[in-house]
């Protein structure tokens, strides 16, 4: 039996044991600074893994989104389309640049940006303002790839660049190609709760070399090439440290194992609830979609559970020392974002009302996930 005093976490860091050799190397060479050989090494590992030519590691996924917007020339007053159903870090950098987020709701299959609604939003913004939105921030939430063919086709038709927020989707693919490599720019996060971690960090990838070069330049205080400190651009300190990158290198060695484990958790939960009518999981709509299943997420339909709702389950699990979380609260409902334009169909609001993220850490034991599933069953 599980010791119920020990909390079961939603998504905890999971070291491989291979990290220390990179960190020790950094210490023995006194490479205890930003950038350095581990950072270049991690960039190479990511390039190889996702199949892209260019990668710049940064201090966070948020920093990567911010720089992506700057690279695309987003300025004061420009409109930037963004998935409404996401974490606030997808949208905050739009406001850092004093641009205007325009939120687009989800479709029901992948829970990501609805292509039809994207088209409506673009056409409506052009009609209303006379200007085209300047970029689209497309999120692959919980590791599930968005409907990329449809979304990319619309973006191409209107010639609007896509920034792919693949913070939660490292290791996910669509038609065999890695999430993050479909747009002009893609970003990943290595925050502590993501599928792999550098304790905190991110990466920006692009098929365009100049984007990654300029990202590095801006992230390192935008220093012109001169013997003195000279600046022609506003710079940022968004570098990744060589120590963090050492953790990342050790984590990249086991990324595929981590994906396999999280997918196993999903399969386990799904089969545990096949006979429960009122429980529905977010699952791959077809073989084109390969999710890393960063978090297993479900919907509770109280009309089929004799009234038991998401909150009953969440609070019941909390009392059993199991950490779960409601799905992301859509951006158009957030106090800080609710006055911005939004194109809605009710999907993300329903997901927010009925959805729950289950413990999905790759270091969760079989006993622990049995305990989670049995606790939910007894609540139902």
Ligand X SMILES: *Cc1c(COP(=O)(O)O)cnc(C)c1O
CB atoms under 10 Å from CB of 185, counted, come to 28
Phi, psi of 264 (to 5 degrees): -60, -40
The torsion angle over the Cα atoms of residues 281, 285, 291 and 296, rounded to 10 degrees, is 0
What kind and span of H or E run contains 257?
Answer: helix 255-272
Q: Which of 34, 36, 41, 61 binds ligand X (CB under 6 A)?
A: 61
Q: Which of 38, 173, 189, 375 binds ligand X (CB under 6 A)?
A: 189
CA distance 56 to 47: 10
CA-closest candidate to residue 39, choices 211, 253, 243:
243
Assign 159 to helix, strand or coil. Answer: coil
Q: Does 348 bind ligand X (CB under 6 A)?
A: no
The stretch near ligand X (CB under 6 A) out of 15-23, 32-40, 120-128, 160-168 is 160-168
Contact 25, 41 (CB under 8 A): no
Q: Can you say how many angstroms the Cα of residue 156 is from the centroid of all Cα atoms in its chain?
A: 23
Q: Which of 69, 122, 167, 203 binds ligand X (CB under 6 A)?
A: 167
The residue among 236 and 273 lying less far from ligand X, judged by its C-beta, is 236
Contact 358, 116 (CB under 8 A): no
- Supply the minimum distance, in Å, between the C-beta of residue 94 and ligand X: 12
Q: Which of 107, 168, 349, 368 binds ligand X (CB under 6 A)?
A: 168
Q: Does 360 bind ligand X (CB under 6 A)?
A: no
Contact 321, 8 (CB under 8 A): yes
The stretch near ligand X (CB under 6 A) out of 7-15, 17-25, 121-129, 163-171 is 163-171
Q: Does 86 bind ligand X (CB under 6 A)?
A: yes
Q: Which of 56, 90, 173, 198 binds ligand X (CB under 6 A)?
A: 90
- Supply the minimum distance, in Å, between the C-beta of residue 157 and ligand X: 25
Q: Can you say how many angstroms the Cα of residue 144 is from the centroid of all Cα atoms in its chain?
A: 10
CA-closest candidate to residue 314, choices 249, 245, 259, 379:
379
The separation between the first and the last C-alpha atoms of the chain, rounded to the nearest angstrom, is: 21
Q: Does 144 bind ligand X (CB under 6 A)?
A: no
Contact 190, 31 (CB under 8 A): no
CA distance 142 to 7: 22
The stretch near ligand X (CB under 6 A) out of 148-156, 164-172, 217-225, 369-377 is 164-172
Contact 109, 135 (CB under 8 A): no
Q: Does 89 bind ligand X (CB under 6 A)?
A: yes
The residue among 86 and 320 lying less far from ligand X, judged by its C-beta, is 86
Q: Does 60 bind ligand X (CB under 6 A)?
A: yes
The residue among 168 and 349 lying less far from ligand X, judged by its C-beta, is 168
Interface characters, 200-219, with ligand X (x: CB under 6 A): --x-----------------
- Supply the minimum distance, in Å, between the C-beta of residue 358 and ligand X: 16
Assign 161 to helix, strand or coil. Answer: coil
Q: Does 112 bind ligand X (CB under 6 A)?
A: no
The stretch near ligand X (CB under 6 A) out of 14-22, 60-68, 127-135, 242-250 is 60-68
Residues ≥6 apart with Cβ < 8 Å to 90: 65, 82, 83, 137, 139, 165, 167, 331
- Supply the minimum distance, in Å, between the C-beta of residue 135 and ligand X: 15
- Supply the minimum distance, in Å, between the C-beta of residue 165 and ligand X: 5
Q: Which residues pair with 137 in a beta bridge?
A: 82, 163
Q: Which of 43, 105, 107, 165 binds ligand X (CB under 6 A)?
A: 165
The residue among 25 and 97 lying less far from ligand X, judged by its C-beta, is 97
For the chain, the residue count is: 380
Interface characters, 262-291, with ligand X (x: CB under 6 A): ------------------------------
CA-closest candidate to residue 170, choices 151, 189, 147:
189
Q: Which residue is nearest to ligand X (CB)?
A: 61
Q: Does 107 bind ligand X (CB under 6 A)?
A: no
Binding-site ranges for ligand X (CB under 6 A):
60-62, 86-87, 89-90, 139, 165, 167-168, 189, 191, 202
């Amino acid at each position: 039996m599980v010791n119920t005093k020990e909390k079961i976490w939603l998504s905890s860091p999971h070291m491989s044991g291979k990290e220390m050799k990179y960190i020790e190397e950094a210490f023995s060479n006194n490479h205890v600074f930003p950038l350095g050989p581990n950072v270049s090494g991690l960039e190479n590992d990511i390039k190889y893994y996702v199949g892209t030519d260019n990668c710049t590691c940064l201090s966070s996924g948020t920093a990567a989104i911010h720089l992506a917007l700057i690279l695309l020339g987003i300025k004061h007053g420009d409109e930037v389309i963004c998935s409404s159903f996401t974490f606030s870090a997808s949208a905050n950098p739009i406001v850092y640049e004093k641009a205007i987020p325009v939120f687009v709701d989800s479709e029901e299959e992948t829970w990501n940006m609805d292509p039809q609604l994207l088209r409506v939003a673009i056409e409506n913004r052009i009609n209303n303002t006379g200007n085209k939105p300047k970029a689209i921030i497309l999120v692959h939430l919980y590791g599930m790839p968005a409907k990329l063919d449809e979304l990319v086709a619309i973006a191409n038709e209107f010639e609007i660049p896509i920034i792919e927020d693949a913070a939660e989707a490292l290791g996910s693919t669509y038609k065999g190609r890695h999430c993050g490599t479909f747009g002009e720019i893609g970003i990943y996060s290595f925050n502590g709760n993501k599928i792999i971690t550098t304790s905190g960090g991110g990466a920006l990838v692009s098929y365009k070399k100049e984007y990654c070069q300029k990202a590095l330049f801006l992230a390192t205080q935008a220093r012109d090439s001169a013997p003195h400190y000279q600046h022609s651009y506003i710079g940022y300190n968004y570098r990744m440290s060589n120590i963090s990158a050492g953790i990342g290198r050790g984590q990249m060695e086991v990324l595929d194992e981590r994906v396999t484990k999280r997918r196993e958790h999903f399969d386990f939960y799904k089969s545990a609830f096949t006979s429960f009518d009122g429980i529905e999981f977010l699952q791959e709509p077809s073989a084109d979609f390969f999710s890393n299943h960063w978090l297993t997420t479900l919907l509770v339909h109280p009309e089929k559970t004799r009234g038991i709702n998401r909150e009953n389950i969440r609070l019941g699990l909390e009392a059993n020392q199991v950490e779960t979380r409601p799905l992301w609260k859509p951006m158009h409902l957030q106090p800080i974002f609710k006055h911005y334009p939004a194109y809605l169909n009710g999907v993300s609001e329903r997901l927010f009302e009925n959805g729950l993220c289950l413990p999905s850490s790759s270091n969760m034991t079989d006993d622990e996930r049995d305990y989670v599933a049995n606790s939910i069953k007894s609540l139902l």
